[in-house]
Structure 1
Amino acid sequence: MSGAAPSTTPENPIPEFKQALGHPRPLWMLFMTEFWERFAFYGMRWALTLYIVAQFFSNDPSGQAYASRTYGAFLALVYATAIFGGFVADRVIGYQRSILVGAVVSAAGYFVVMIPDQTMFLVGLATIIVGNGLFKPNISAQVGQLYARGDERRDSGFTIFYMGINAGAFVAPILTGILANRLMGDQGMPAYKMVFCAAGIGMLISTVWFWFGRSKLQGIGEPPKGAEGPQRVLAVLVGSMVAIPVVYFLLAIDAEILAWILAGLFVVLCVMVMVEGLREGKVSRDRAIAMLIIFTFNVLFWCFFEQAGSSFNFLAQNIVNRDVGGWEFPIGWFQSVNPIAILALAPIFAWAWIKLGKANPSIPRKFGLGLIFNGLAFLLLMYSLSNLVDSQTGQIPLWPLVAVYVIQTAGELCLSPIGLSMVTKLAPLKVVGLAMGGWFLSTAIGNNLSGLFASHVSGSEGMSVASANAGYTFGFYALVGAGVVLFLIAPLIQKLMHGVK
């Protein structure tokens, strides 16, 4: 029996949850669990490329390309391992135990990253990756399991959950940035070790929060029948320890080789999902096809969106004038612009999707809007790098980069929370966790490509105005072109979805 079965079969109906603010009460427990996990992740994420260049390349700009590729590979593997985490939850230990095991493993990784050695740094990243693979897809799948398939609140619930993700992402760079720059270090060499320590503490809080709150789920996500004992949990822990050196190897190899490996995994996953779809009948088959088509557009979106921690970091460091009345705007704080924009805009989007009713754009058209908004952000960068560069400093003003994050946020809200909801609507019933892993795998491929793209923008000598302008011009045309194509084929995709909105 699948771990998802309690929420999707007549034999295991959804419990009668008490409601809070129009949604099942467990949603708010999952909201806070995700808040602290994202605090940990984003508290460390903003510092990664800057730390690599500072610690392992003595701040030489030639290290930017390596840092970007490592960053892209890290994000890619964070999401790629979600495939295996979804399978473990579906077939081995259930969703709740997968989340707890993943949280403990991730927390250990954050503390290992503190060791100022390049090999141990990659080992720590590999440990975070393995833990996140067990945690990330399954916490999202638990949200979907709180709602019946026809429940109109589902999109709204996922958007609220997405606010929890971004509340943690907003607070983390600010607090860890203050800790690194003002309390423990300086602008020349921030105390990155304290950033990683704070992230580890955040992950521990997430673990404890879910441990005590999981009873509210009333059996949703418990182990499959016959697998209630501790033996399988121990086996998953051992498997995680074995997986860490494998992931370390994938981090250490060339990012282009990793791209081919991820592409191969994606093909295998598509086959597995389609086989299950064929078993369930024509409707399930067609919905699976529609879902996989949208996955491919998701790759392109994240390839360019995920410049935040790589090329945008170096853009902010070298080409953006961060002086604000004699005070220097911290680099890491740019990455709080996106989550605070989500906190401001997500309620509006959640309200709009419900208010529009029958006029609500279809899922593929929402994705098309996401791609176009992302492209418009790159259009602003093109304009800034062509027309707003100060002739004396060689820098652009601060406001265009802030605006870029806000515009990208609008695109993200059209796509990312809707994507999570889409998987729970379109995936064959017995492989919801695996399909959620597929969503994250498509994101992983995009993230790895984002590192390759960012390394190209920086080149061998570090980022320049010319290299940034050329790269971002390509990003604009690729995103807007894909968005237009998706709008044109949206009716075909919608037909394959058989009434799913």
Structure 2
Amino acid sequence: MSEQKMIWGHPRGLATLFFTEMWERFSYYGMRALLILFMSAAVADGGLGFDDQTSGAIYGLYTMGVYLLALPGGWLADRLFGLKKSVWYGGIIIALGHFTMGIPGIAELFGFHSDGVTALDTNSFFLGLILVVIGTGLLKPNVSALVGGLYAPGDAKRDAGFSIFYMGINIGGFLAPILTGTLAETNWHLGFGLAGFGMVLGLIQYKMTAGYLGEIGDLEPAKDAVEEEGRKRLKKGTSIAVAIIAFVLVLLFMGVIPIDAFAIASYSKYIIAIVAFSYLGYVILFGGLTPSEQKKVIAIGIVFIFSALFWSGFEQAGSTLNLFAERFTDRSIFGWEMPASYFQSVNSLFIIIFAPLFGALWIWLAKRNLEPTSPLKFSFGLILLGLGFLTMYFAAKIAASGDLAAPSWLLITYMLHTWGELSLSPVGLSLTTKLAPKKFYSQMMGIWFISVALGNLIAGLIAGEASGEDAEGIQQMPDQYMLIVMTTIGGAVVLLLISKLIQKKLMGEVR
């Protein structure tokens, strides 16, 4: 570590990873801001003309897939590609995905595209989404792991390095919806193309400055002939899997394979929950754990439930709330109508503003022995989430009366949700690392991300029900928002009631 070139007290490689992740998040959040708006937009307006139920289901499957594929992405990096190559390959696949989604726009530019939604529109859209999911699964977990590799164990600068790295995430998340949303006002595909261009910029700077990473993230040489043979078999198996996936994608692109997104999403949520809890049960019963470790895994199972509940509400930012911004919010500013996608930048802006304050708050409370336990912080996160949707209940009342709601309703909601995120997200990730038995450490981290994936999927399914697609739906919106309020705050109350039991009986010394 001492031989690394330093800049501002940190390894120079941190800047490489900062900008790589910033542009990757630019591409992700840029497309995410447009996704459900494009799918639900009328064909006459250049959209796909999907109903809200289908659009929400596709959105949920997409955001779910990003988190689920992070697990095999990390596994392939550890055993086959190494971290650096995985980031490179992942970025290339992401860029290809974005540009694939832009194919209809290119065809239209050269006069090869007829009016209306064609198989080219829908199939290139689905193919592009799948490629972005695959690429993100390769890039996202491994670029974070590279940041950790820059610092020696116990280096006091590690946390500060990650804070700088996460600032890059939020800068990308703030800029992307504004820039892609502006272009999408002219042509949706230009917005998708800009997201892909951002990823290309990230790849260029990554390749040009990857030397600053040194040997960090390289795949270690095989220890013996047996391990080398195992890698060869893995490469063959991966090649076969890639060929099969490519074949399926070609069939998808040609329209041979039909897609029922809502049915797939509906069944997927049960499959994910069953698999997650079956695995936790296996670890508890047959994992060779001590009684103390078994209790901590049970606590992780409880964390899973409330984490999924939180993300099922929070991740409606890009679906339900995005549609509310477009359909029911007064976006007129001195005669100019602000694109609805701009609201997707608010969360990142609030994180930049409030994350240091929350960090300082926990430290201030800890010094006075007043810092809440992790279950209590989880409860606060759910309560703040519920208060955000309570704000939206009143905004929906305005929409149901036939008027447009002021932008301040959404801004207050996003602020409360950001506070909830800062109370729960870093706490949940940290808590999982503390509770996880050593020999199941990575798997338990995977369980956390599966809970996030499940929450994202449910958020997409809810979007189709609470979006006010028609006149009847508009009148039902306030009640649907109130149902979300009761569910999230009700979950918070349940967690508050059992928090002491979880702390004393299951978590032990872990706070």
Q: Under TM normalisation by the shorter chain, which class is it?
A: 0.7 to 0.9
Give the deviation of 1:23 after TM superposition.
6.6
Which runs of structure 2 are paired with 1:92-241 in the superposition (5 Å)?
92-116=80-104, 117-143=121-147, 158-181=162-185, 185=186, 191-211=187-207, 216=212, 219-226=215-222, 236=238, 239-240=241-242
Give the deviation of 1:119 after TM superposition.
1.3
Q: Partner residue of 1:260? A: 270
- 313-322 vs 217-226, which moves further: 217-226
Q: Partner residue of 2:418? A: 409
Alpha-carbon distance in 2 for matches of 1:500, 1:250: 49
Could you tell me which amino acid in structure 1 is paired with residue 197 of structure 2? I
Alpha-carbon distance in 2 for matches of 1:250, 1:362: 48
Could you tell me which amino acid in structure 1 is paired with residue 134 of structure 2? V
Could you tell me which amino acid in structure 2 is paired with residue 88 of structure 1? L
Alpha-carbon distance in 2 for matches of 1:89, 1:382: 45
Which runs of structure 2 are paired with 1:261-300 in the superposition (5 Å)?
261-267=271-277, 269-270=279-280, 278-279=287-288, 281-282=290-291, 284-300=293-309
> Residue 405 of structure 2 is aligned with which of 389, 393, 396?
396
Could you tell me which amino acid in structure 2 is paired with residue 328 of structure 1? E
Which runs of structure 2 are paired with 1:331-350 in the superposition (5 Å)?
331-350=340-359
Call closer, same or farther: CA 1:454–1:483 in 2, change over 3 Å: same
Alpha-carbon distance in 2 for matches of 1:210, 1:52: 32
Could you tell me which amino acid in structure 1 is paired with residue 271 of structure 2? I
Could you tell me which amino acid in structure 1 is paired with residue 241 of structure 2? G
The secondary structure found in structure 2 opposite 1:406 is: helix
Give the deviation of 1:29 after TM superposition.
4.0
Q: Is the 8 A contact 2:468 2:474 kept in 1?
A: no
Q: Is the 8 A contact 1:46 1:332 kept in 2?
A: yes
Call closer, same or farther: CA 1:441–1:461 in 2, change over 3 Å: same
> Residue 354 of structure 1 is aligned with which of 363, 370, 376?
363
Q: Is the 8 A contact 2:182 2:191 kept in 1?
A: no
Give the deviation of 1:410 after TM superposition.
0.9
Q: Is the 8 A contact 2:39 2:49 kept in 1?
A: no
Q: Partner residue of 2:61? A: 73
Call closer, same or farther: CA 1:26–1:373 in 2, change over 3 Å: farther
**Structure 2 residues without counterparts, runs of 5 or longer:** 105-120
- Tell me, yes or no, if structure 1 residue 46 matches structure 2 residue 33: yes
Q: Partner residue of 1:328? A: 337
Could you tell me which amino acid in structure 2 is paired with residue 397 of structure 1? A
Call closer, same or farther: CA 1:30–1:426 in 2, change over 3 Å: farther
Alpha-carbon distance in 2 for matches of 1:212, 1:286: 48
- 462-471 vs 375-384, which moves further: 462-471
Q: Is the 8 A contact 2:324 2:467 kept in 1?
A: no
Q: Partner residue of 1:375? A: 386
Alpha-carbon distance in 1 for matches of 2:170, 2:322: 19
Give the deviation of 1:267 after TM superposition.
3.5
CA RMSD of aligned residues (A): 3.5
Which runs of structure 2 are paired with 1:416-495 in the superposition (5 Å)?
416-458=425-467, 461=470, 464-495=473-504
Could you tell me which amino acid in structure 2 is paired with residue 256 of structure 1? S
Alpha-carbon distance in 2 for matches of 1:269, 1:142: 28
Larger Rg: 2
Alpha-carbon distance in 1 for matches of 2:449, 2:30: 21
Alpha-carbon distance in 1 for matches of 2:42, 2:240: 32
The secondary structure found in structure 2 opposite 1:333 is: helix
Alpha-carbon distance in 1 for matches of 2:421, 2:352: 12
- Could you tell me the TM-score, scaled by structure 1's length? 0.82
Call closer, same or farther: CA 1:224–1:467 in 2, change over 3 Å: farther
CA distances 1:62-89 after superposition (whole Å, capped 9, x unpaired) = 7222211111111111212222223323
Could you tell me which amino acid in structure 2 is paired with residue 404 of structure 1? T
CA distances 1:79-110 after superposition (whole Å, capped 9, x unpaired) = 12222223323444443333332222222111
Identity %: 39
Q: Partner residue of 1:305? A: 314
